[in-house]
Amino acid sequence: MPERPDRRPSSLPAKRSGWLRPSGPSSPPPPAASGPAGSLAPVPPDHRSVIDSAVYRDGRRVASPATLADTFRQLREQHGGMAWIGLYRPTESELHSLAAEFNLHPLAVEDALEAHQRPKLERYGDTLFVVLRAARYLDAPEEVDFGELHVFVGPDFLITVRHGAAPDLSAVRRRMEETPDLLSLGPEAALYAILDAVVDGYAPVVAGVQNDMDEIETEVFRGDPEVSRRIYELSREMVEFQRATRPLVGMLHALMAGFAKYGTDEELQRYLRDVADHVTHTSERVDGFRQALTEILTVNATLVSQQQNAEMRALAEAGFEQNEEIKKISSWAAILFAPTLVGTIYGMNFETMPELHWAAGYPFAILLMAVVCVSLYVIFKKRDWL
């Protein structure tokens, strides 16, 4: 790759300094990543990771290069121009090529390659590195899908590295191209638009989660046995949502704290304050969702416990009633067994039985049966078996 001329400090309009002006002496550029022979690995010109690449001047698109190499060349030719490169899960060679062209810090490049980063804002010399967590609500499965976005912002370039379906950066780019006055403010204006899109994307998620919580409350009091699993799943999503929104509050306040120091355009200041208000509101709503889910889970556990106690009480009552029935059956069986026993003994018809020829034998047997039955009846009655 030919050596890049020193074009940034002298060719940029003063209004582009914005948030990106280093607060102290410029740090030396990091070493460029190289291949085995010390040169950059080639970037496939038709690789799908390059979603859109354009060069802008005064807020208007002046070139739409097909490859990263063409983008670098066009940017060098456009004095005061800005490159906006959109990537989706780029290869290591592509990021190394960008790192060599724009002096990206190796740590930031490593984060962009590995992904799975928490939202953060870091400065590396005159480059700002921003990690965002976008979210979208999926209606069919009723769940929240999270995406990760890495943004490199320099004096004359903006690079987005997307890991996930959200956000729709093509819509952001179209919106900015339709307002060239705003885009002419430089890469920080494009960063504002991305922040605004990510934060605006939280609103449908908040609405979807609110609807889910309303449904969960109905299911809880209806006694749905599957509601506990749904509460846990939504709670886990809210933890992820909180991790995506809470750091944004501090990041935006850090940007606003540097307005005076870095001479940020007043229009961008108003826009960023609006984004900060929205993300603060969203963060507060997410915190409220987590607390509400905790309370719902407690109520559900209480209702489940009460239901289990009622079921146990019903089983105990059923067991008691069954035991009473068994007592009655056993008592009547014992009463009926007594005359059967006497009748069986006297019905054996043995010749040597003296009672067989006894004149009072029959009434005696009947009387014996009656006495035994009445005695057993009285005993069982006193014990409340009958």
**188-212: per-residue pLDDT in tens?**
889 989 999 999 999 999 999 999 9
Give the total number of structural domains in the chain: 2
From residue 137, how far is each of 166, 201, 286 by CA, in Å?
10, 9, 14
Which of 180, 197, 225 is at the close of a domain? 180
Q: Per mean pLDDT, which of 161-165, 262-266, 275-279 is the most reliable?
A: 275-279
Could you tell me the pLDDT band of residue 263, with boundaries at 50, 70 and 90?
low
> Comparing 73-87, 109-123, 294-308, which segment has the lowest mean pLDDT?
294-308
Tokens of 142: 């009723």
Identify the H or E element spanning 85.
strand 82-88
> In this model, does residue 384 exceed pLDDT 80?
no
The per-residue pLDDT for 351 is: 66
Domain closes at, from 164, 180, 196: 180
Inter-CA distances, 376 with 187, 261, 291, Å: 102, 104, 66
pLDDT at 66: 86
| Residue 250 belongs to some domain of the structure | no
Residue 375 lies in a domain: yes
Query: What's the pLDDT at 311?
Result: 79
Mean confidence (pLDDT) of the chain: 79
Share of the chain above pLDDT 90, in %: 17
> Whole-prediction pTM value?
0.68
pLDDT at residue 12 above 80?
no
pLDDT computed for residue 151 by the predictor? 93
Cis peptide before 167 (omega within 30 of 0): yes
Calpha distance 151→129 (Å, rounded): 6
CA angle 266, 272, 276 (to 5 degrees): 145
- Say if 274 falls within a structural domain: no
Q: Taking phi first (over 0 means left), then psi (-120 to 50 degrees means alpha), and beta for anything else, what does residue 180 get?
A: alpha
Beta bridge pairs of residue 135? 146
Summarize the confidence of residues 97-114 as an average pLDDT: 90
Q: Please check whether residue 41 lies inside any domain of the structure.
A: yes
d(CA 285, CA 287): 5
Domain-located, residue 374: yes
Please state, in angstroms and as integers, the Cα–Cα distance from residue 252 to each residue in 128, 136, 138, 238, 277, following that order: 13, 21, 27, 21, 10
* 23: exposed, middle or buried (Cβ count in 10 Å: 0-12, 13-18, 19+): exposed
Q: Average pLDDT, stretch 354-359?
A: 69
Does 1 score more than 90 pLDDT? no
Last residue of a domain, one of 121, 149, 180: 180
**224 in a structural domain:** no
- Residue 259: the pLDDT is 66
**Could you tell me if residue 372 is inside a domain?**
yes
Q: What is the mean pLDDT of residues 250-267?
A: 74
Q: What is the pLDDT of residue 344?
A: 76
| Amino acid letter, 43 | V
356 pLDDT exceeds 80? Answer: no
- Residue-number span of the structural domain to which 332 is assigned: 324-382
pLDDT of res. 352: 67
Which CATH number does the domain housing residue 73 bear? Answer: 3.30.460.20
Inter-residue contact 335 to 370 (CB < 8 Å): no
pLDDT in tens, 302-314: 877 777 787 788 8
DSSP 350: -
DSSP 133-155: EEEEEETTTTEEEEEEEEEEE-S
Q: Is residue 367 part of a domain?
A: yes
- Distance separating alpha carbons of residues 251 and 181, to the nearest angstrom: 25
Structure tokens, 229: 């699993």
Please compute the mean of the pLDDT values over residues 284-298 and round it to a whole number. 89
